[in-house]
Structure 1
Amino acid sequence: MSESLGRTSMAPEQVDERFKAALDERAADVASIVDFITAHPELAHEEVESSAHLVARLRDAGYTVATGVAGMPTAFRAELEGGAPGQTVGVIAVYDAVAAKSPEGDVAPVHSCGHGAQSAGVVGAALALAAVRDELSGTVVIVGCPADEIHSPRTRELGSGKALSAARGLWNDIDVALYPHPEFIDTVWPSSLWMRRESVRIVGIRTLKRDVVSTPLDALAVIARLPSTFDPARLMVETVLLDGDVEESAGMVIDASFLLFADTEEELEALAARLRQQFGEGSWTSSAAIAEVRPDAAVTALVADAFAAAGRDFIADPPALGFATDFGNVTQVVRAAIVGVGREEGWRYHTPTGGEEFAGPAGTRNALDIARVIGLAALRIGAASDL
């Protein structure tokens, strides 16, 4: 353990062992949380049962919990003060389901992104930390954030939970934020992409004649060409809806949305401008940007030490994280780490197979792995004297 750590009445290694034992005693609780969240899939900003279940678990463990924080009805903030002064560590739990499309074309919520394992791991760590409260330095804050899934209808309408929590000051009194997630490897990701949603409405007419221009149909043809004219990993066609009456010169409208990804905010602006140039006249709107993850070397070092204490191999130089996360917005306002807790076989995110993986024994094992790493990291960060 780092020499910069503070001391409670017990040696740090002893506190680690007490925490691990407390977590082992609560393994059944962690498994039951995975099962509950998996069995109650709820879409973004609608996670009523899931958030209530997590809140009840935290209150029973001695946390002081506020619900409906940051103007989000299904968000919560749970706090536990340790037995010694120290840093305030915030850990994010997410619990919304993927807005999957059923074969019938309906939205079918399913936990195929691992949020059952994620939230169970975070709350499991919280329960075990409460059991060693007297040896804990600082304060642990569990932040329940709804709306992680960017394509969910109400995420698109209201915004993503972590970004909203940052914009509304939820992290102002927290020293370090941690966001764990099931991953392929054990690491702290040093960067991520910027992201923004661009939406357009183009109004025109339907025509039954070859020599008459229909601007919505022309726009549809442009959209069909986009994957070959742009990098599909940087410009994603998200939704397209073409609708119009069926007579000559009747009104027709096309609505389309696109997800744009870039390494920098400036590149994101340039990509948006290039996209708009592909179309004729239309009415465009832009979402708020999802920022890149801002790394913190000192926090990363403490998390790496937690992985070592958990008996896991930390990857110090991971490949680039090729997508965006609204945790990036949190890292703009507080020192932070996005923590990947890996499984050698990986995960089939956002697929039926992935849903089965996370609902089964692998999901429970990952939840326990998350709990162990995050709890050990919280112990180290809470006691760190030189952050």
Structure 2
Amino acid sequence: MTELDTALLAAIADQSDDRDATIAFITEHPEPAHAEHLASAHLADRLGAAGFRVERGIAGMPTAFRAEIDGAGPGRTVGVIAVYDAVSAQLPDGTTAPIHSCGHGPQSAGVVGAALALAAQREHWDGRLVVVGCPADEIHSPGTREHGSGKGATARAGVWDDIDVALYPHPEFFDTIWTASLWMRRETAVISGGRTLRADTDPAPIAALRELAALSADSDPGRVMIETAVLDGDVEEGAGLTMTIRLLLFAETEAELESSSAAVRARFAGAEWTAGAAISAIRYDADVAATVADAFRAAGRDPVLDPEPLPFATDFGDVTQRVPAALVGVGRDGGWGFHTDRGAHEFAGDDGRRIASDIAGVIALAVPRLSRRAD
């Protein structure tokens, strides 16, 4: 551990009240994808008050921001992602409500905590730190379905083009730097037809409903996920009837994703299909991972260096296609109840406050190591 490591960890310990207040604010103001106005403003304001140059509304997203600060001398630029949207939770009565059950309060508080500690010690490290506030992390949120994911949008808009290394920390079951994830794409089918009251006629939307049930029965639900299915129509003979199916397709490679898409589409004759942008699998960078692993060890933690691949997709994959990067899991024994009432309680309580401190420590120690490393 270096003198700077010690100073950064001391600064993180000293700011616990501010960090806890940020968790409380985010938790008490749950906002869904692309509507995180209060959360975005709160985080950007905290960074601006610490001397960061803040640009709001980046990449065409009103609730995205970029905040940057320089160290003492020339070096590399390290970007760190903060996320702050709430889960659009499905309630027992069929309605949805924004609830922070994915850890974005502690995640964003931890990232901002690391940034504030680094700002306080900026005379002792070189390079530049950029915090990128990304809305719309949650795949299923209506805002993400309509407007796309935040990290993907920043990648397409060139936000990462002047950044040398990207980090995305998130609460996890164990400490690690993830090596692989899945590709993903959302595909929507609309099957149109007419209502009939006759038993000897098979309208296309009804046939599609049966085919959807068959697809569910003979597909891996981790690779072909039925997100929504709605049969809707008038009640009179010959009146309009439609079946709308929204699927999430997952695959290990882009070619496998295309093959899966073709196979699924072939099952629904006459459907009109639309597709969202594909989310790339993460691109692993061994050098960045080794440096982050050293930061873990300096923080007194022992990361798993050969984890099983993530069994899902993250739009951070799009960022990793633009810049060397690391998807950083900061763990807790026993894990988390992601997207459940239990998880909401964990992230809002003592466990959430501890993981925010842990995230802040690992990221604060990683940034100077990455920003000073020679190309």
Settle same-fold status: TM greater than 0.5: yes
Distance in 2 (CA, whole Å) between partners of 1:313 and 1:301 is 12
Q: 1:223 aligns with which of 195, 212, 215?
A: 212
Amino acid at match of 2:263: R
Distance in 2 (CA, whole Å) between partners of 1:36 and 1:120 is 10
- After TM superposition, the structure 1 stretch with the greater mean CA deviation from structure 2, 41-50 or 245-254, is 245-254
2:302 aligns with: 313
1:196 aligns with: 185
Return the offset for 1:278: 1.2
Return the offset for 1:227: 2.1
Q: 1:17 aligns with which of 1, 6, 12?
A: 6
Q: 1:79 aligns with which of 44, 49, 68?
A: 68
1:8 aligns with: none
Question: Equivalences for 1:86-101 in 2 at 5 Å?
Answer: 86-101=75-90
Amino acid at match of 2:159: L
Please say if 1:282 is aligned against 2:259.
Answer: no
Return the offset for 1:228: 1.6
Partners of 1:90 and 1:143 within 8 A in 2: yes
Distance in 2 (CA, whole Å) between partners of 1:188 and 1:226 is 35
Please say if 1:361 is aligned against 2:373.
Answer: no
Distance in 1 (CA, whole Å) between partners of 2:232 and 2:259 is 30
Please say if 1:130 is aligned against 2:111.
Answer: no
Distance in 1 (CA, whole Å) between partners of 2:99 and 2:313 is 21
Return the offset for 1:223: 1.1
Partners of 1:84 and 1:135 within 8 A in 2: no
Identity of aligned residues (%): 58
1:376 aligns with: 365
Question: What RMSD over aligned residues (CA atoms) do the two structures have, in Å?
Answer: 0.8
Q: 2:38 aligns with which of 44, 49, 54?
A: 49
Question: Equivalences for 1:157-306 in 2 at 5 Å?
Answer: 157-306=146-295
Q: Which runs of 5+ in 1 are unaligned?
A: 1-11
SS for the counterpart of 2:303 is coil
Return the offset for 1:103: 2.1
Distance in 2 (CA, whole Å) between partners of 1:69 and 1:244 is 41
* Aligned pairs, number: 375
1:146 aligns with: 135
Return the offset for 1:205: 1.1
Partners of 1:100 and 1:109 within 8 A in 2: yes
Deviations 1:279-302, CA, capped at 9 Å, x for gaps: 111100011100000000110000
Please say if 1:111 is aligned against 2:111.
Answer: no
Amino acid at match of 1:23: I
Distance in 2 (CA, whole Å) between partners of 1:122 and 1:294 is 22
- After TM superposition, the structure 1 stretch with the greater mean CA deviation from structure 2, 245-254 or 73-82, is 245-254
2:109 aligns with: 120
- After TM superposition, the structure 1 stretch with the greater mean CA deviation from structure 2, 206-215 or 41-50, is 206-215
TM-score under structure 2 length normalisation: 0.99
Distance in 1 (CA, whole Å) between partners of 2:112 and 2:336 is 22
Partners of 1:240 and 1:255 within 8 A in 2: yes
SS for the counterpart of 1:298 is helix
Amino acid at match of 1:377: A
Distance in 1 (CA, whole Å) between partners of 2:267 and 2:348 is 43
Distance in 2 (CA, whole Å) between partners of 1:59 and 1:312 is 31
SS for the counterpart of 1:137 is coil
TM-score under structure 1 length normalisation: 0.96
